[in-house]
Every structure is written in structure tokens, then in C-alpha cells.
A = this chain, B = another copy of it.
Amino acid sequence: MVRYKKIAVILCLVSLSIAEDIKPSYEQTSIKIINSLKSDSVGYNRLSYLCDMFGPRLSGSKNLEKAIDWIIKEMKLDGLSNVKGERVKVPTWIRGEESLQILVPYIKDLKILGIGGSVGTPKAGISGEVLVLNSFDELEEVKYKARGKIVLFNVPFTTYGETVKYRYDAPNKAAKYGAKATLIRSIGSWSMNTPHTGTMGEYTYHKKIPHAAITSEDAMMISRISKRGQKVVLKLNMDGKFVEDRWSRNIIAELKGSTYPEEIIVVGGHIDSWDVGQGAHDDAGGCVAAWRAVTLIKELGLKPRRTIRIVLWTNEENGGKGNENYKNEHLSELNNHILAIESDGGVFAPQGFGFTGSEKARDYILDIASLLDPIGAGTITNWGRAADVAPLNDNGVPVMSLNVDNSKYFWYHHTNADTFDKIDFREFNNCIAAMAIMSYVVSDMEKKLPR
């Protein structure tokens, strides 16, 4: 026990000495960054432009490629280095027309969003009685009832992680018992008749059945009617299909390091979105926050020792080919990837970062994070492995993920309501500040962030 105490004291002193190094060295700069962003509208205006001028940015779409063209052009005008699009083949799913009608007990069009990756229905659509279930367990209990039915999983949102399995797996589970199609209650924490799309897992059962999300309101309604012992009949039409893979691009741009240019700190988000709304919080906001963080560092005349590289991954939403490609293209550099920071949880009020890396590295990160306390973003939690940085972490790179107040994130997530008007200027700019300060200090501090 005595020995452990000694180690703890030593660690504590090390930690203090780091704090004494970093905080005084960077406090003034970080305050300058925070203050600059109080009225800076460069990022905000770019986010607005990106959201408004290209439409939603599904992988494989022209919208996405036009948005990428524009960003690359602007990044060059910003004077960033090594600006380029790295080509990536992405799976391309096309929604096409889709509709859902309730036929019994009365006729009315219901809103749906097909789940990305779903097959379509036959041209005449699929009509059928609904079987309402509350869980996969219930499906197992009453599997004999599923044959020939449209199976609706009316599962209320708890957490994304817990609820999303119905979006992923429902068609495989229900097709096994003869279901004609599956519907899920949208994976969202609030609804104004708002369907949420998203990706499904691969079809693993040989019979592929269509899969779509309906609104919470309609899922609850159908469930109530059904509980009264009344029949509900629906008619589903979907055109969804995969076409051949298409070319897209990851965007790269750099602020070259002044002393160790080969050492790289990545900041980024994913530039693709679902084919609804504007993908404003998910994830145009994260992309532009990373981008503006770096151009602001440059504009302030800061010359970090290491390179800060903006990476805007493509195809995060339905394939992950962007992050796979980035890792493969930059394999030889990965040892020099000091840290990779991703923002993909919305650009609401930032709270800090999740971090995955060594305890030694965490000590540094904790000290840097204290510079974010003035904007309430100084808390470091334990999980930095967001989707696009996880493959880097698998290769030993410490990774971080911006944490924000996510109380409304799943109101908008993958819906037509994820639009620029949902972005709060101050909150968004604080996200930029958090990204800028974290990436700047790690790129500039004397010691290299340890692995």
C-alpha cells in the first residue's frame, strides 16, 4: 500500500508539472480563440451555405460531390496546404418513391422513411395486416403470428445504442418467420410526426424484405388500435435499391507544422449525410467546426509545431468506406498520427471530449481541457472512439470525440428537421473554440502527446 501511495504522489507531481507547463503557456492564446469566436461568423455562414446550397449529401449523390467541390475550392482560397479530395468508392443506395397508407380502419397517408439499404416492394406494393410487437423477445414468443404480416416494432426510444438494433436487424429477424415487411417506430427522442431514417445491417436472411421507419405517433396509434383487438391494414410502396458503387472523396487540408510537420493531429467530421433535411447537426456542423478551427488558428498567426490536418470523411452514414480508405491511404503515416479528433454528435453546447488513449496521454488531455472551462467544455470522459476515428485508434492512434449537450440531438437525427435553423450561433462557435484549442495545444506543445 505504501508503495502505491508513493507512485500516486509521483504521478500527481508529474500531472501537476504538466498542468504547470500547459496551462500558463496556452491560457492567453485559448482566451484569444474563445474571444475571437464571440462574434466570428465565418464558420456559421459557411455552414449555412453548405446546408442550403447543395441539399442533403447522401453518399453517391451529386449533391455530395458538389458540396465537396465547393469545400475544396474554399479551402484552397483559405490558403490551407495539401488540399485535396482522396477518391473512395462508396456504396450507393437510392430511396426512390415511397409511401405508406393505412387502409383499415380508415384511409390515410402515413409518413415513412425507408431504412437505408432496404430493398423495395414489388411495383404494386405490399398490403397486409400489421402485427405490432414491442421487442425481439416478443417476436420469438409469437413467431407463429408473423407469417404474411407487416411486422411493426413499436419500441420507444431509450438510448440510441439500445434502440437502434431494431433499425439494424428487424428485417432479418422477422423474415425468418415469414413477415412480408418490417416497420419500426422511428429512432428518435421527440416527434412532430417526424420519421427518422438511417442504415440497416446487411441482409443475412435469404429472403430480403422491405424495411422502413414510421413516426412515433403512427407507431403508437397502430399499437393502440391493435391493442383494442382491431385489425390494422397497411399498404407499403418502396422503390429503394442499391446501384453500382460510385466515386466519392475524403477531403484533406492542412496547416503544416512549423517544427515537426510529419507529426499529425487530425480534426474532422463526416461530409456525407442522409438524403433528408440538410444534415446540419449530422454532420455539416462537425465538418465546418473542424475547418473553421484550423483557419482561425492560421488567421490568428499561430504556427503550431505539428501539422493539423482537417479530414472530412465521406460515407460515414452507410458504409464507412471513407474512414477505411483514409486509414489504408495513410497507413505509413499512422505512427505519426498524434491524435485524431472527431465531431459527430451535433454542434450544440460543447461539454468536452471523450478520449480513448493511454493514461499518460489522458493527463495531458485533462490539462488542456481545463483551458475549455470558460466555455463549459472542460470535461473529459472515457470514450473517444467515434465512427471515423475508430479505425485509427485500432492502429494505436489516441482518439477524441467532441461531447455536446445532446438532449435534442435525437429530435433531429436523420430527419428532415436536421436543418441549419437548429444551429445556435454561440453554441456552434463554442464547438469551434473547443476543437481549435484542443487541436492547437496538442499540435504545439513541446512534448509530443504520448501513446
Contacts and interface: CB of A to CB of B under 8 A. Distances in A.
B105 A224 contact: no
A105 B67 CA distance: 12
A415 interface: yes
Nearest to A222: B52
A260 interface: no
A358 interface: no
B63 A106 contact: yes
A51 B412 CA distance: 26
Given A52-B228, A56-B108, A194-B194, 6 more contacts: A66-B106, A192-B194, A192-B415, A193-B416, A193-B417, A217-B416
Nearest to A226: B52
How many of these chains are in the complex? 2
A52 B224 contact: yes
A52 B132 CA distance: 15
Interface string A213-252: 0011100110011001010000000000000000000000
Interface residues of A, number: 40
A421 B154 CA distance: 14
A412 B191 CA distance: 11
Given A106-B63, A108-B56, A416-B217, A224 B192 contact: no
B48 A224 contact: yes
A255 B36 CA distance: 70
Contacts of A56: 108
Chain B CB within 10 Å, residue with most, of A66, A221, A230, A415: A221
